[in-house]
Structure 1
């Protein structure tokens, strides 16, 4: 298990799915964990489940006036932040002609802008300590995608680009930045996607996987915990595929 003893890790979109699994994995690895989500009840419930090592804050990651007080409150409860997981995200199934500007802005605000706002809020502590780790949860759609996912792929590609760019900026001062690109993971978001597709789409998705199965949030969380830990101390600016081999098949 990756050792996060003594670390303070914030996780966005922590109320459910991959975010909740990451928060639980970080706590199990010894970290104090701050849970941020627009779903205050969900964040509170998970914090109560984790126990004294967790705190929570309601937060809209697209709004700097929400991010700043949430991060400040969690810092007060847990201590200076040493790890951040930008997990909160939004699926998008837009038509490039019919999509409105407001719908476009909403996708990019959640999937890209929010990661920058959160990183900007925690970096002062990390840079002062000359250590820290940020992990951005991207998607296999950052590398290859399919019809009907506009403009999700563009936003997640931007998140991988942000990862590389930010790694270059803060790496000389001891802060590592990486991304994880999950494939088909059994979450509510994936269930939502399949509900909008013909039944055979799920079967086709399974057939694309070298391992012949979909992933679990816990399997993504274990990779994130590693990247947050000193075990990954020489890893930065990288995008890690956790996709059951889908990217290898279509490389």
Structure 2
């Protein structure tokens, strides 16, 4: 986890410093033959690259053909991401504005199993086993470093729509099992998850407010033939 925290800190620090849009005002003063002054004032809007933190909180789950035992708690299966996004202005004239949004993020997919189901790796294959006691928690967690790339369109009304995708590499993955009345046990491993994943994303909201987001990964999160054919989707709110 120390290495993971170091990677997260490095990704967030090694980004552009935020620069905000500003207004420049020029004042010109002249005198005529009757010693009267006329003042002309003009303003020019300067659009700059802006950077800042972004936070995603929501729910995720697997889709596709899942074998028996891959039943998850809807509320317990959560998606969290933190990143540093840069907004690059492309078209700023008129009532509709176009920006490119990108920047590194670290995302966590949490899949909380129902009942006594636990996930173990045996002979290179993933197997669902039932624990011999009641469990307070049994989950699979995957952490990934992503680089999103989105085109953002904002309208005069304040409505903002972003469309794009992301690609990333797995940083860590582990299972966590906590029996009722006992201590939690973590087991780190690859769990046949693909080292690289990519997906599509969209965000919808209003300027200066929280946005709704949807993410979908068309390909399976697991290696072919060594895990279920399961893609990942996530929905939630971006701050």
TM-score where L is the length of structure 2: 0.26
Tell me which protein shows more helix as a share of its residues. 1
Higher strand share: 2
Highest RCO, 1 vs 2 (Cα 8 Å, sep ≥ 6): 1
Larger radius of gyration: 2
